Structure 1
Amino acid sequence: MSCDRTVALGAYLLGSLDPAERSSFERHLHGCSVCRREMVRLAPLPGLLGQVQLSDLELSLDDPGPGPDLWPLPPRDEPEADPPPARPRRRRRPVLVAAGVLAVLVALAGVLVPRLARDDGPAAVTWHASDGTSGVVASADLVGKSWGTELWMTVENIPKGLRCKLIVHDRAGRAEIGGWWGTDHAPDERIPGSTSFPVGEIERLDVVVDMKVLVSVRP
């Protein structure tokens, strides 16, 4: 089973859809289990983009593979057939861009996901927090990996129809985006994320909507 709207998933995860497109896609996610499963699979990848080395994605120059067969060429005295009339070109740039972004994420999944599966980090530590002003309750499981920290968030009492991001702060004052997600999810759903910071260097996790911190999760 597949869905033709998964081509927009890469652009959605990277935050490049405009507000109307984002709202439309999030409404679609609510009723499409195929796109939801694919989003869960790819959601950690934006936070891992900074970990990719160019050598991971370079094609081997030692074995370029067979090229196209160019022989035999047509005789010179044989007239070439007239090319078919050009068809009017349709404006497909947004779809192609979204498909290209998704292709990059899928390629990165092939590079990074096997590495995640091989990492044997320590048992997860769990942080809990609640905010008296927003009423939002959150918990985070942090699992140490060789590349940084794997994050699993559970967030309750957050309004529906919003777009959340997780900002990870370390003890040196640096910050990274650990993930994006829509808020139309079950209260007990575990939301994946990641950061290059080791567990011991993380100072706090901020759940943010429209530049407003709804809850800060600390050890």
Structure 2
Amino acid sequence: MSCDRTVALGAYLLGSLDPAERSSFERHVRGCTTCRREMVRLAPLPGLLGQVQLSDLELPFDDPAPDPDLRPLPPEPGPEFGFDPAQALPPPRRRRWPVLVGAAALVVLVALGVLLVPRLTGGDGPDTVTWHASDATSGVVASANLIGKSWGTELWMNMENAPKGVRCKLIVHDRAGRTEIGGWWGTDHAPGERIPGSTSFPVDQIERLDVVVDMQVLVSVRP
């Protein structure tokens, strides 16, 4: 069984859908077993892409050394043949962005093909915990279910009293001081909705989870 809306899962997990599209997709997922299964399978995507650095996409742009076996081209025809070299088009400039985009796509494919697919065949790890927290200033109440996996940690969030019409970002902090983006979601969802996320950090290395809106921490969830 397949669903033609699974193609939107990547954009949903990366927070690229606008609020109306996101709300529509979340309503669809509640009743679609195929999309829910694919959402769990692709849950590590935001954490993996969060580790890609701009330096990973840089490629050398020097011209290759000339091949000594190649013969030089004959001289271009001069004005006596009705051709004016001054009017010839300049050589095309080497474009950097298409190569960077191609490199970025390659890095993403490697991350998905090498890291995601093989490791998803592993079962749950021994660590499965649930954390609860509330924030007296924002009034937000949240709980997080952390499930240990061979590739990191699967996250499921529940939130109450969040402001409507905003986008939340989940920041995962580990005990070594590193951070990853664990997911994005809109707050226009049904009460009690379970929100998926992921991180490459193992459960026992996670120090806290911050739910952030516009650089403001709504709530921090800790052990």
TM-score in terms of structure 1 length: 0.60
Is 1:23–2:23 an aligned residue pair?
A: no
1:1-219 to structure 2, matched below 5 A, reads 2=3, 7-15=7-15, 17=16, 22-29=18-25, 31-33=27-29, 37=36, 40-41=39-40, 42-49=42-49, 108=112, 112=116, 115-219=119-223
**2:84 aligned residue:** none
Pair 1:38–1:145, CA change in 2 (3 A): closer
In 2, the alpha carbon distance for the partners of 1:164 and 1:193 equals 12
Deviations along 1:50-89, whole A, 9 cap, x unmatched? 689xxxxxxxxxxxxxxxxxxxxxxxxxxxxxxxxxxxxx
Question: What residue ranges of structure 1 are gaps of 5+ in the alignment?
Answer: 53-96
CA RMSD of aligned residues (A): 3.4
Identity %: 73
Is the alpha carbon distance of 1:197 and 1:6 closer, same or farther for their aligned partners in structure 2, counting shifts above 3 Å?
closer
Structure possessing the higher radius of gyration over alpha carbons: 2
SS at match of 1:112: helix
Structure 1 pair 187/207, CA: closer, same or farther in 2 (3 Å)? same
Secondary structure of the corresponding residue to residue 124 of structure 1: strand
Structure 1 position 109, deviation (Å)? 8.3
Measure, in 2, the Cα distance between the counterparts of 1:190 and 1:113.
Answer: 24
Q: Per-residue CA shift, 1:29-54, capped at 9, x if unaligned?
A: 355445974884444422234689xx
Query: Structure 1 27/185 Cα, relative in aligned 2: closer, same or farther at 3 Å?
Result: closer
Q: Distance in 1 between matches of 2:38 and 2:151?
A: 21
TM-score, normalised relative to structure 2: 0.59
> 192-201 vs 40-49, which deviates more?
40-49
Return the alpha-carbon distance in structure 1 between the equivalents of residues 202 and 127 of structure 2: 14
- Does structure 2 retain, via aligned residues, the 8 Å contact 1:12–1:22? no
Post-superposition offset of 1:167: 0.2
Find the counterpart in structure 1 of residue 58 from structure 2: none
Equivalent-residue separation in structure 2 for 1:29 and 1:153 (angstroms): 17
Number of aligned residues: 164
Does the residue aligned with 2:196 lie in a helix, a strand or coil? strand
Show structure 2 runs of 5+ residues with no match: 53-100
Separation in structure 2 between the aligned mates of residue 31 and residue 198 of structure 1, nearest angstrom? 31
